[in-house]
Structure 1
Amino acid sequence: MSTALLAGATLASAVLAIASALGLLAPGLLFVFKPLTTALILCHAARARAERPARRWVIAGLALSWCGDVALLWPQRGFLPGLVCFLLAHVAYLVAFTRPVRLAARPAPFIVYAAVAGGVLALLWPDVPAGLKPPVAVYVVFLAAMAAQAAVVWRTAADGGDRPAGGLAAGGALFVLSDALLATNRFQAALPWASLWILASYWAAQWCIASWGKPALRRS
């Protein structure tokens, strides 16, 4: 399957999943098209030109994300298992992004994402149930670290005259946005058309990460 065809299939599956989540189509279709969309993105990652160790970790991250997607099909019972799956996914992505560049080789992205994550967490913290506060805090740390390291890879690549990692940095930022929207919708106030914004930004993030290729960078 060509990349264009795979992208089209992923987009179509994502649209059907979002429409189902919004109640525009039969709710049961979400159980088909939500896992299918992430599975198609996983297929895209398997075709990317990233070096083999990094690609393996990205695929592992997407596989864990798929497990998280399935768990969150049951929003109440599946929230904590889904959170754990996505936490492990961010660990896998973080390992992948440290293959070409050492962790926090550029401190600026880590400072920026620490401020962003701290601000969002401070805003939502009073509304997070007590039993969920420890896992949510740990999750936010790894989410922010993943996004920051993606930006480090991008900046290191750009300084070397190679810019394909810009999409990777965008993926990290979109993941933070998606999870901030999800947490706001769950813990603070229902957002209008929440599934549209959360799932669209989430799958855009995963596609950007899965598309990462040519990480032929110097270790800094």
Structure 2
Amino acid sequence: MQWLNPLILVCALAAILGSQLGAPTALFFVLKPFTTVLILWRAWPRGEGDAARLWVRAGLLASLAGDVALLWPREGFLPGLVSFLLAHLCYLWAFTRHQRFAAWPWAFVFYGLLAGAILSQLWAGVPAALQAPVVAYVLCLSAMGAQTAVLARLSDTPRNRLLALGGLLFVVSDACLAANKFAGPLPWAAWMVLPTYWAAQWCIAGWLAPSAKESKP
């Protein structure tokens, strides 16, 4: 497994370059979902005996479906939005296996204010047909991010701190993606959206405890 993290990094960088520099579309179409597959591979053996394990896997699989849908940004936006909404619900359920939902309410206050501020800046550009799905998505995303902060606050371990970073990075990534879509094209958008997205997923996968084989020196 020592080669897995470098491979994730190489595939992620190649996918981003393929997106920004006009490399063959087929290359980007393969490498973007394949990077998420590799992160899923990282998560798969971890968390043995943990009730959250199945739900983290399910969240990554739903994210993979969203990645594939968003390869077609216009036609696939709504299916991608629904896929990632389901991913956040899976993650949220996983995290509440370790700590009661909203056990530290201030995290939800912070993420609610952050999400509201971002949405208020982009709302004018959201088409009427997408307003309800976007609001539902933002609620799920911000709740997922807030719950990661709950775990880090109430059980301060390296893995929980990593998870909280992942939750925040997911919000940053989606805020950049939404700004690029609803407020006008951002220069070098892929360098803002994709690194933060894959870093978030990597942190979530790494939150699960290492397998016995990985723990051996």
Residue 29 in 1 paired to residue 24 in 2?
no
For the Cα contact (< 8 Å) 2:14–2:31, is it kept in 1?
A: yes
Q: 1:126 to 1:10 in 2, by over 3 A?
A: same
Moved over 2 A (4+): 47-52
Q: In the aligned structure 2, how far is the partner of 1:50 from the partner of 1:212?
A: 12
Instruction: Give the corresponding residue for 1:129.
Output: 127
Q: 1:64 to 1:193 in 2, by over 3 A?
A: same
- Give a deviation string over 1:185-211, Cα, whole Å, max 9, x none: 000021110011100100000000000
**Secondary structure class of the residue paired with 1:149:** helix
Match of 1:11 among 9, 12, 33: 9
Between the two proteins, what is the percent identity of the paired residues?
51
Q: In the aligned structure 2, how far is the partner of 1:44 from the partner of 1:5?
A: 11
Match of 2:148 among 147, 150, 171: 150
Q: In the aligned structure 1, how far is the partner of 2:155 from the partner of 2:46?
A: 17
Q: In the aligned structure 1, how far is the partner of 2:24 from the partner of 2:191?
A: 16
**Secondary structure class of the residue paired with 1:52:** coil
CA RMSD of aligned residues (A): 1.3
The Cα shift of 1:154 comes to: 1.0
Instruction: Give the corresponding residue for 1:206.
Output: 201
Instruction: Give the corresponding residue for 2:214.
Output: none
User: Amino acid of the residue matched to residue 131 of structure 1?
Assistant: A
The Cα shift of 1:24 comes to: 4.6
For the Cα contact (< 8 Å) 1:157–1:163, is it kept in 2?
A: no
**Secondary structure class of the residue paired with 1:184:** helix
Map 1:94-133 → 2, pairs under 5 A:
94-133=92-131
The Cα shift of 1:166 comes to: 0.4
Residue 190 in 1 paired to residue 185 in 2?
yes
Q: Please report the TM-score for the alignment, with normalisation by the length of structure 2.
A: 0.94
For the Cα contact (< 8 Å) 1:20–1:28, is it kept in 2?
A: no
Q: In the aligned structure 2, how far is the partner of 1:114 from the partner of 1:69?
A: 25
Q: In the aligned structure 2, how far is the partner of 1:58 from the partner of 1:204?
A: 15
Instruction: Give the corresponding residue for 2:136.
Output: 138
For the Cα contact (< 8 Å) 1:64–1:85, is it kept in 2?
A: yes
How many pairs align?
A: 210
Q: In the aligned structure 2, how far is the partner of 1:214 from the partner of 1:112?
A: 28
The Cα shift of 1:25 comes to: 2.3
Q: Please report the TM-score for the alignment, with normalisation by the length of structure 1.
A: 0.92
Q: In the aligned structure 2, how far is the partner of 1:89 from the partner of 1:144?
A: 13
For the Cα contact (< 8 Å) 2:159–2:206, is it kept in 1?
A: no
Q: In the aligned structure 1, how far is the partner of 2:54 from the partner of 2:178?
A: 29
Moved more, 61-70 or 13-22: 13-22
Q: In the aligned structure 2, how far is the partner of 1:163 from the partner of 1:28?
A: 38
The Cα shift of 1:46 comes to: 1.1
User: Amino acid of the residue matched to residue 93 of structure 2?
Assistant: V
For the Cα contact (< 8 Å) 2:125–2:183, is it kept in 1?
A: yes
Instruction: Give the corresponding residue for 1:218.
Output: none
- Give a deviation string over 1:93-126, Cα, whole Å, max 9, x none: 0000000101000011100000000000111001
For the Cα contact (< 8 Å) 2:98–2:151, is it kept in 1?
A: yes
User: Amino acid of the residue matched to residue 108 of structure 1?
Assistant: W
The Cα shift of 1:23 comes to: 2.4
- Give a deviation string over 1:8-51, Cα, whole Å, max 9, x none: 11111111111111125222211100010000000111132365
Match of 1:172 among 153, 167, 171: 167
The Cα shift of 1:173 comes to: 0.1
Structure 1 residues not aligned, in runs of 5+: 216-220
Instruction: Give the corresponding residue for 1:75.
Output: 73
User: Amino acid of the residue matched to residue 183 of structure 2?
Assistant: Q
Instruction: Give the corresponding residue for 2:56.
Output: 58
